[in-house]
Structure 1
Amino acid sequence: MAFPKAVLFDLDGTLLDSAPDMLAAVNAMRSARGQSGMPLEALRPHVSKGARAMVAAAFPQVEAAEREAWIPEFLDHYQRELGRHGTPFEGIETMLSALEAAGCTWGIVTNKPEYLAQQLIPLLGWEQRCAVLIGGDTLPERKPHPLPLTVAAERIGVAPQQCIYVGDDERDILAARAAGMPSVVALWGYRLTEDDPFAWQGDVMIETPEALAAPEAWPATA
């Protein structure tokens, strides 16, 4: 068994437990409106769904149109909290080191705005290790569209069929399938109670990052 030639990862909920940073951002917004803090457990399942989902979870009583106008405020708060509370999931560094030792190239494809992802990567010490970074606004399309994955593969010089995508949300698996890229469902990530990762039909489902430090855990590539 061998590691894949290249791996692309989702960021929030896959590589990074960023929920504590997101919580600080929404609670700053709640405090400004005279509301008490939201518990981490209530926000965590929404993190992989993006800023709008998190603001909706924090302010369910507010109309969607009004919440939409609050997204820039959320992003401003989040930028100030960036990397202050969140950390890579346990086992991520072990996995990345195993990939690198095997000569595997890895990169990140996230729906997080590119400017935030670019600021975050150095805080994690990954700026020299991450071979490509595609954000949610880097290209005209974002996940679940396959374009971010196919462009990332092109930039690292690997055919999509020889690359594997790892993510914790259904749109990650949909994007990988549409790109012709094998996929790994990261079960350690963020999910709503009603989410059914079995229904996403990823190529493999993995419980912990440490499991991916073994080459036999990865799906086969073309």
Structure 2
Amino acid sequence: MDPRFPPAVLFDLDGTLLDSAPDFVATLALMAQRHGLPVASAQVVRPVVSKGSRAMLAVAFPQLQTEAREALVPEFLDTYQGLIGQHAQLFDGVAGMLDALDAAGCVWGIVTNKPEYLARDILPQHGWQDRCAVLVGGDTLAQKKPHPLPLLHAAAAIDMAPAQCVYVGDDQRDILAAQAAAMPSVGALWGYRLADDQPLQWGADCLHDTAAALSQPAGWPQVP
């Protein structure tokens, strides 16, 4: 059988579709200036972007106690919302990949651990508000990745069985969530990873170095 695009694709956001690290580096720099703390470099922040706000605060402000960093989470989110999209850009190949999926009639959506209100701010910046069929954020449901509930919820929202969808993400918890949802998965090696991450051991159905590899049907796991 000739390779074909899957009927539906669900994507992680930060580190998969969007290189949002520059926005987060700018956010943390503003916070450092406010609090009289050293400014963290992009090299320090970038590898942990997919781990979330607390992980970024931990590497940016290691001199603070855990409780003090926890208290900064609301300020981090507010500051980030104020400059969201000013420095971020799509990863190479993402625009062409999404165009290819649209042309093939593939339904696609986003399942992210980013708060839903912040993810929704991003959609119109890239003209996705009418293209993205479903958006599930980290606070949309009672659970977030690596729990399978967000993926199962998204599949149901687009009237697809989990096995008909493919999930694409750059973090191990993305692949764990897909496995728990019985959903084929793609590991996005172009995203954010720690030096000791071992994506070959995550168990993704396939791994790709660039989003452009997913512009062709042969790049995807074949689903029923």
Q: Report the TM-score range of the alignment, normalised by the length of the smaller protein.
A: over 0.9
Equivalent pair of 2:39/2:60 in contact (CA under 8 Å): no
Per the alignment, residue 128 of structure 1 pairs with: 130
Q: Residues 47-126 of structure 1: matches in 2 within 5 Å?
A: 47-126=49-128
Per the alignment, residue 174 of structure 1 pairs with: 176
Distance of 2:30 and 2:182 partners within structure 1 = 41
1:193 aligns with 2:195: yes
Per the alignment, residue 185 of structure 2 pairs with: 183
Query: Secondary structure of the equivalent of 2:130?
Result: coil
Instruction: Name the aligned partner's letter for residue 80 of structure 1.
Output: G
Per the alignment, residue 29 of structure 1 pairs with: 31
Q: CA deviation at 1:35?
A: 2.8
Normalised by the length of structure 2, the TM-score is 0.97
Equivalent pair of 2:37/2:61 in contact (CA under 8 Å): no
Q: 5+ residue gaps in structure 2?
A: none
Query: Secondary structure of the equivalent of 1:111?
Result: coil
1:163 aligns with 2:154: no
Instruction: Name the aligned partner's letter for residue 216 of structure 1.
Output: A
Per the alignment, residue 38 of structure 1 pairs with: 40
Instruction: Name the aligned partner's letter for residue 109 of structure 2.
Output: G
Distance of 2:5 and 2:117 partners within structure 1 = 31
Query: Secondary structure of the equivalent of 2:110?
Result: strand
Match of 2:216 among 209, 214, 217: 214
Q: CA deviation at 1:124?
A: 1.6
Which deviates more, 167-176 or 59-68? Answer: 59-68
Query: Secondary structure of the equivalent of 1:119?
Result: helix
Distance of 1:119 and 1:210 partners within structure 2 = 25
Q: CA deviation at 1:62?
A: 1.1
Q: CA deviation at 1:38?
A: 1.9
CA RMSD in angstroms, aligned pairs only: 0.7
1:143 aligns with 2:145: yes
Q: 5+ residue gaps in structure 1?
A: none
Distance of 2:72 and 2:35 partners within structure 1 = 12
Describe the superposition over 1:118-154 as per-residue Cα deviations: whole angstroms up to 9, x where unpaired.
Answer: 1111112110110000000000000000000000000
Query: Secondary structure of the equivalent of 2:207?
Result: strand
Distance of 2:202 and 2:89 partners within structure 1 = 27
Per the alignment, residue 18 of structure 2 pairs with: 16
State how many pairs are aligned.
Answer: 222
Distance of 1:57 and 1:221 partners within structure 2 = 39
Q: CA deviation at 1:37?
A: 2.5
Instruction: Name the aligned partner's letter for residue 82 of structure 1.
Output: I
Query: Secondary structure of the equivalent of 1:62?
Result: coil
Instruction: Name the aligned partner's letter for residue 183 of structure 2.
Output: M
Normalised by the length of structure 1, the TM-score is 0.98
Instruction: Name the aligned partner's letter for residue 196 of structure 1.
Output: Q
Q: CA deviation at 1:36?
A: 3.7
Distance of 2:92 and 2:146 partners within structure 1 = 27
